[in-house]
Amino acid sequence: MEELRRSFQAARHQVSGHGKRNVGVLKDALRNVADETGSDIYGNGAVINDFEQKIAALLGHESAVFFPSGTMAQQIALRIWSDDRDNRHVAYHPLCHLELHEQDGLRQLHPIEPVLVGEHDKVMTLEDIKALPEIACLLLELPNRELGGVAPTFSELETIVAYCRERGIRLHLDGARLLELLPYYDKTASDVASLFDSVYLSFYKGIGGIAGAILAGPKSFTTEARIWKRRYGGDLISLYPYVISSDYYYEQRKDRMGHYYEQAKHVAERLNAIDNIFTTPRVPVSNMFHLHFKEEMTDVTARLTRIQEEVGLGLVGYLVEHDGYCSTEISFGDAFDAISNEEFEQLMTRLTADFSA
């Protein structure tokens, strides 16, 4: 697996992402910022407050708070809604970030008992939600990253929202990759985000910033979120390195999400044409998909390593083993534009030769 990773990183170009995560990414964002620009100070100051207001407006919400991370922002959102409804139960999908990647922070830090809703291999349905016990809040991740960036249709979403509204269930949107989904929905960020009581947006996924997140909602909600941000140690004296870079890459990429989405659909179609390769979803609905190889992992690893070394393109940096196949994640950004048609066709030819039945 180490060889596969090395061949991926050593390649001239990678299929996924926005290019290397290095200090140049921060320097580019700072280049045109005057040295005299004042730091934010513990959440105050134009540099942070202007950006908060800009993203609040984008999302159609009253107010927003910039956080160092989505992990912190989302736990806090769920805690506020749990207190608000005086109910310890919040519901989310079994593949939710809070369930998989946060070392059980929500349960360890709060008197909250999450309820898992929906099945492991698909997005939750209205029927799943109807079967829930009484809950304070439902978290929906749009698109669902761990399922390959999938989402319900917009009308299914509206039905779910209406059901929850009727029952007084608070709705929180894990919109880490919300912008990446908008071309499929053909909606504005506000069309989607304003269906929810609160929204989290990340700035280092499709937007490709350094780190940082926005949590938006009503003023009463963000006022409380700022108190919790202080409690968590997220109210840093200076968050401007993340704020400035978030704003810079947001401006640079906000209108490119349709382009990334088209790349994802195009490449998925080409890959699905190879016998022992398939993607989920088959037709992407965002800038990403999961890529699967229906063969033994050791074998796939060896073949992909060789192909990546010889073609000089990085497609797969790691593989996860499943029963009868192995998988990776592909997400599109600026990096793919650096790849010529010839290089891409060479990659496809090699994959077809190595993975056809």
Q: Under a CB-based contact definition with an 8 Å cutoff, are residues 98 and 137 in contact?
A: no
Q: Under a CB-based contact definition with an 8 Å cutoff, are residues 314 and 9 in contact?
A: yes
User: Is residue 32 near a copy of itself by the rule CB under 8 A?
Assistant: no
- Strand partners of residue 331: 288
- Binding region for a copy of itself (CB under 8 A) out of 51-59, 112-120, 241-249, 330-338: 241-249
- Strand partners of residue 144: 150
C-alpha dist (Å) from residue 72 to 98, 102, 155, 169: 10, 10, 30, 22
Task: Pick one of 1, 10, 12, 39: the residue that binds a copy of itself (CB under 8 A).
Answer: 39
CA pair distance 10, 196, nearest whole angstrom = 43
Q: Tell me the closest approach of the beta carbon of residue 38 to a copy of itself, in angstroms.
A: 5
Task: Pick one of 66, 200, 242, 249: the residue that binds a copy of itself (CB under 8 A).
Answer: 242
Nearer to a copy of itself, 42 or 154 (CB): 42
Nearer to a copy of itself, 163 or 318 (CB): 318
Nearer to a copy of itself, 125 or 238 (CB): 238
Task: Pick one of 236, 274, 302, 348: the residue that binds a copy of itself (CB under 8 A).
Answer: 236
CA torsion through residues 325, 328, 331, 337, sign: negative
Q: Tell me the closest approach of the beta carbon of residue 130 to a copy of itself, in angstroms.
A: 32
Residue among 246, 240, 271, 137 nearest 198 (CA): 137
User: Is residue 12 near a copy of itself by the rule CB under 8 A?
Assistant: no
User: Is residue 162 near a copy of itself by the rule CB under 8 A?
Assistant: no
Q: Give CA angle at 193 (17, 41), nearest 5°.
A: 75
User: Is residue 219 near a copy of itself by the rule CB under 8 A?
Assistant: no
Contact pattern for a copy of itself over residues 75 through 114, marking x by CB under 8 A: x-------------------------xxxxx--xxx----
CA pair distance 151, 143, nearest whole angstrom = 5
User: Is residue 68 near a copy of itself by the rule CB under 8 A?
Assistant: yes
User: Is residue 25 near a copy of itself by the rule CB under 8 A?
Assistant: yes
Task: Pick one of 8, 51, 66, 67: the residue that binds a copy of itself (CB under 8 A).
Answer: 67
Task: Pick one of 10, 12, 27, 188: the residue that binds a copy of itself (CB under 8 A).
Answer: 27
User: Is residue 357 near a copy of itself by the rule CB under 8 A?
Assistant: no
User: Is residue 116 near a copy of itself by the rule CB under 8 A?
Assistant: no
CA pair distance 284, 316, nearest whole angstrom = 18
Sheet holding 198-202, edge to edge: 63-67, 213-217, 198-202, 170-175, 137-141, 89-92, 113-116
User: Is residue 348 near a copy of itself by the rule CB under 8 A?
Assistant: no
CA torsion through residues 330, 334, 338, 344, sign: positive
CA pair distance 339, 148, nearest whole angstrom = 23
Residues that bind a copy of itself (CB under 8 A): 20-27, 30, 33-39, 41, 67-73, 75, 101-105, 108-110, 204, 210-211, 227-228, 230-242, 244
